[in-house]
Structure 1
């Protein structure tokens, strides 16, 4: 587990570039251009898993971009969350235009990060996708788009490490593995849901996340035994309001985020979500082959 002094050092002292290793900078201008210099594009894995929403990526997962993502995820270069979040915000904008509410004001974009396995979060000392999502929401708000992070997805069962699995095995590994936390369906209503992650490879994680959100949108939940049960609109509301963690300081491990709890005060956010509210998905990077498949 990383110590607080390591986090503080990463944020205050100059570091080497996360992309190319150039000293005394978080990300050099050339690597920032590789990450965010091109317009985000729609990406599609082959084969494309059933239920995958439209996905946009900011950059190709190669060279400097790959190095930066790995430095943030595996080596705890936390300061990279800011430029990675800017890139993710661009991908969200490409895939989603915030709708207007009845009063003409833009309604919030709800960024729902794909959760990491608990053991991975413990080993790394942070949840990379959630941290980048928080930075992306801040960038969207800075540029005039109302945005919130709703970390409402949970793993309902353990899954094996995805590395080394092919696309079919990843789908089988993740099938039914995610769920929306009790009370989370109340927080998802009234905005445009954008599923977010740092990286898309086969699309299995995003497809499973979309299934979990659509499940509560349709008013049903699949239990561990495979049975489909109705979801009550008031279910788990007290648990949600009491589950805020250190997410309000920029990082969290369990529970619905503090930003999610504050959503109760946002105009137009009352009630449950509707079917089809998963509007898009966005990632920082995707394999080059996913960019090559242009079927727009």
Structure 2
């Protein structure tokens, strides 16, 4: 109770000294959120999507075509937002612009949403290689996972899943190249036992290549149920017809 009272006092002090301001338009934000009601209402929810990979779909369906043909190496996915305007702007500012206020806002958005049930016993954020971590200064997946884990009462561990080699940025690669790029890039600490139900967490899922490689590592370690959680899921790219 004392901790909750201190948190409430901090939020009142913050609102008095530094009022919440919308990071997108500059208007007054809502309590504990640097987004106004109008901009928050524009965030693209991923309500119609594949149950297995969270790919946004035009109409309700249990599984997308790709998951029907070749199911991914995880059991279910949770991605509450689609990667599109204006969430993509906040994500870019957080991930590449070192805008920690944008990251805090994204974390608050995520932790306010109901999680899948049953909850996993452990959350593992996708790791960065130490060279990329030094360059960026923080792991965006870990910083999103920590407040979410506290809200859900699920432990978060960043020291179990390791990125053992540096990989090229996935941004400009196609799906096949992304799979090759991360093949064999991850490993688990040998001295740690894992629970039977684990959630892998990343900020954005595009093709799912990175999460799939991490999921295979967990499967080989004997994890019975692997879920993938991402704040946002990118829509399927249309083939270039030019």
TM-score between both structures, scaled by the size of structure 2: 0.71
Equivalent pairs, count: 204
Aligned counterpart for 1:283 among listed residues 230, 234, 239: 230
Q: Which residue of 1 aligns with 2:142?
A: 130
**Distance in 1 separating the partners of 2:115 and 2:102:** 20
**Distance in 2 separating the partners of 1:82 and 1:36:** 18
Cα shift at 1:64: 1.1
Aligned counterpart for 1:85 among listed residues 93, 96, 107: 107
Aligned counterpart for 2:96 among listed residues 63, 67, 74: 74
Q: Please give the residue correspondences for 1:114-193 in structure 2 after superposition, counting only pairs within 5 Å.
A: 114-140=126-152, 146-151=153-158, 152-184=160-192, 186=193, 188-189=194-195, 192-193=197-198
**Distance in 2 separating the partners of 1:287 and 1:38:** 10
SS in 2 for 1:281: strand
Structure 2's unaligned 5+ residue stretches are 1-16, 56-63, 238-242
Aligned counterpart for 1:203 among listed residues 182, 201, 208: 208
Q: Which residue of 2 aligns with 1:250?
A: none
Identify if the C-alpha distance between structure 1 residues 178 and 84 changes in structure 2 by more than 3 Å, giving closer, same or farther: same
Identify if the C-alpha distance between structure 1 residues 155 and 213 changes in structure 2 by more than 3 Å, giving closer, same or farther: same
Contact kept, 8 Å, 1:111 with 1:133, in 2: the verdict is yes
**Distance in 1 separating the partners of 2:155 and 2:221:** 19
Q: Which residue of 1 aligns with 2:41?
A: 33
**Distance in 1 separating the partners of 2:86 and 2:122:** 29
Contact kept, 8 Å, 1:129 with 1:196, in 2: the verdict is yes
Contact kept, 8 Å, 1:51 with 1:210, in 2: the verdict is yes
Cα shift at 1:197: 0.7
Identify if the C-alpha distance between structure 1 residues 183 and 21 changes in structure 2 by more than 3 Å, giving closer, same or farther: farther
Pairwise CA RMSD of aligned residues? 3.1
Contact kept, 8 Å, 1:195 with 1:206, in 2: the verdict is yes
Contact kept, 8 Å, 1:81 with 1:135, in 2: the verdict is no
Q: Please give the residue correspondences for 1:205-220 in structure 2 after superposition, counting only pairs within 5 Å.
A: 205-217=210-222
Contact kept, 8 Å, 2:44 with 2:84, in 1: the verdict is no
**Distance in 2 separating the partners of 1:91 and 1:204:** 25
Structure 1, residues 225-253: CA drift from partner, whole Å, max 9, x if none? xxxxxxxxxxxxxxxxxxxxxxxxxxxxx
Identify if the C-alpha distance between structure 1 residues 15 and 22 changes in structure 2 by more than 3 Å, giving closer, same or farther: same
SS in 1 for 2:198: strand
SS in 1 for 2:195: coil
Cα shift at 1:79: 2.9
Structure 1, residues 227-283: CA drift from partner, whole Å, max 9, x if none? xxxxxxxxxxxxxxxxxxxxxxxxxxxxxxxxxxxxxxxxxxxxxxxx4132x1111
